Amino acid sequence: MSRTDNAGLQPGAIPVPADVATLRRLCREFRRDLLDLTKHSGTGSSHIGGELSLVELLAALFFHTLRLDPADPEWADRDRFLLSKGHASAAMYVAMAWRGFFPRERLFDSFNRPHGILQEHVNMDTPGAEIPTGSLGMGLSAGAGMAWGARYRARQEGVPPVGVFAVLSDGECTAGQTWEAAMAAAHFGLENLVAVVDDNDRFVTGPRNAVMALDPFPAKWAAFGWHVAEVDGHDLPAIVEALAQARRPETAPGRPRVILAHTVKGKGVSFMESSDGWHAGHLTVEQYQAAMAEVAR
């Protein structure tokens, strides 16, 4: 799907690191593409609520923080990015398309379709995907293993280790495997591992603490030995700074880092915001038009 009103942005040709003004324009395009992708999905749906809450986080990661080479997705010195929150894959696909990993048109003819390279849960057919992510709670374990391996390689070669960035949902922080990985990462001093939690306060079945209490959430991570930062997950300058701090070795020597990003599920579309009913869903013609009018402002 082509649009001519994309503020002069061209997928695959945006200088990185992007400035905040460019990141803001990208976020508008991401939200529009997510609505179009949902409408053109093979099932006519996506996990749109939790995808919209990720937009600013992924714009900052893919266009400011992560060292990547879309022309060489397996570049040995790339940062590793893991979307542990795998059901929100569409948000990652939009960011990757704009970064140049594959043509943007694939968003609208390959998502959730037989033999398409963009499935609703990430698989290894997607250029640049590091791991398949379906079951929740597994991404931080994979990230800890990658961070340990990157540090081992770096010590052998006498260079700094690459960064490993894992985006989690607050919901998967109720899974025991997440905390096993958190404990191991702290034990092994994986300071090149950064977890970013999309803390949108909504599970598929209701408000976070009504379903399973996580509070005191920051204190839990700190008790497991992590350096903890909190940020408004829709404030781009704050996100950029939090990510920059997280990757600096001197920020917390010998400790993994977690950024708790406080977000709004369905951000940008008024009838979806903070609604359990839009964890996933189909858009009627009227809903699509109303949502597009809001995110295009």
Which 8-state DSSP code applies to residue 111?
B
Q: Which residues have a Cβ under 8 Å from the Cβ of 163 and sit 6 or more positions away?
A: 66, 67, 79, 80, 192, 194, 247
pLDDT at 5: 58
- pTM, rounded to two decimals: 0.95
CB 91 within 8 A of CB 58: yes
Domains and CATH numbers, the chain: 20-295 (3.40.50.970)
Q: For residue range 122-145, list pLDDT tens digits in order.
A: 988 899 999 998 778 899 999 999
pLDDT at 7: 63
CB 200 within 8 A of CB 264: yes
Q: Please list the helix, strand and coil fractions of the chain in percent, rounded to the nearest 5, in that order.
A: 45, 15, 40
pLDDT at 112: 93
pLDDT at 184: 98
The parts of the chain modelled with pLDDT lower than 70 are: 1-7
Phi, psi of 116 (to 5 degrees): -75, 155
- If one counts every other C-beta atom within 10 angstroms of the C-beta of residue 160, the result is 12
pLDDT at 2: 54
Mapping DSSP to helix (H, G, I), strand (E, B) and coil, where does residue 101 land? coil
CB 91 within 8 A of CB 99: no
Positive or negative torsion for Cα 141, 121, 111, 21: negative
Positive or negative torsion for Cα 268, 273, 279, 285: negative
- Measure the CA–CA gap between 6 and 4, rounded to whole angstroms: 6
Which 8-state DSSP code applies to residue 63?
I
CB 204 within 8 A of CB 276: yes
Return the half-sphere exposure (C-beta side, CA atoms, 13 A cut-off) of residue 47.
22
State the residue for tokens 């092994």.
188
pLDDT at 205: 82
- Measure the CA–CA gap between 66 and 58, rounded to whole angstroms: 10
